[in-house]
Amino acid sequence: MVLSVADILAQELGKTFMLNYRTFKKQTPSVAFAQESMADVFSKKKRSQVMAAIRSKGNKDTELKLAAILRTQGVKCWRRNHPALGKPDFVFLKQRLAVFVDGCFWHGCRWHCRMPKSRKDFWTPKIARNKARDRKVGRLLRKRRWRVVRFWEHSLSQPIEVAAKLRAMLAARPKAR
């Protein structure tokens, strides 16, 4: 059973705290609330449990933006959420083409990734691991005769160029097995 953050907070802190917190949050301007730093009410172990209970839903913004580009540009025969190696964002099965949309921060775009000033000892290796995993997944897919194309999040602001690159990849014949 997966608990929501509100459920965990209610269990740990009691319902009265949650009611008071919601009332306080409604009455407090968000700017003033964000400027004050609050001590965490959980232990490090409990905070880890709370955060682990929050399940990722994927990178919806960039995926939906590329899906909209594909639709408006008339690119067809793509699938999302295909269980291919590395979980590509989009797959063209017949052409054996895996499409990834990489977020500028999470995948370390050299033009747009701005490392946080705090916890550099965490973020620098984290982004490096993401980049290494991207290279490994691309290598493994190519070894299995898939073609791989990656788009940066910032490139989605140029939908015609994105569609043209995809059309060129789709028109090129896959290598013989």
Task: List pLDDT tens digits, range 15-25.
Answer: 555 455 555 45
Measure Cα distances from 96 to 56, 62, 88 in Å. Answer: 27, 22, 12
- The residue-averaged pLDDT of 121-145 equals 95
Global pTM value: 0.65
Domain layout of the chain by residue ranges: 5-52, 60-171
The answer for residues whose C-beta is within 8 angstroms of residue 139's C-beta and 6 or more apart is none
The residue with greater pLDDT, 23 or 43, is: 43
What's the CATH architecture for 60-171? Answer: 3-Layer(aba) Sandwich (3.40)
Tokens of 120: 């550099």
Number of neighbouring beta carbons within 10 Å of residue 146: 20
- The residue-averaged pLDDT of 111-125 equals 89
Task: State the Cα–Cα distance between residues 15 and 21, nearest whole angstrom.
Answer: 10
The answer for residues whose C-beta is within 8 angstroms of residue 13's C-beta and 6 or more apart is 41
Asked whether the predicted pLDDT for residue 57 surpasses 80, the reply is no
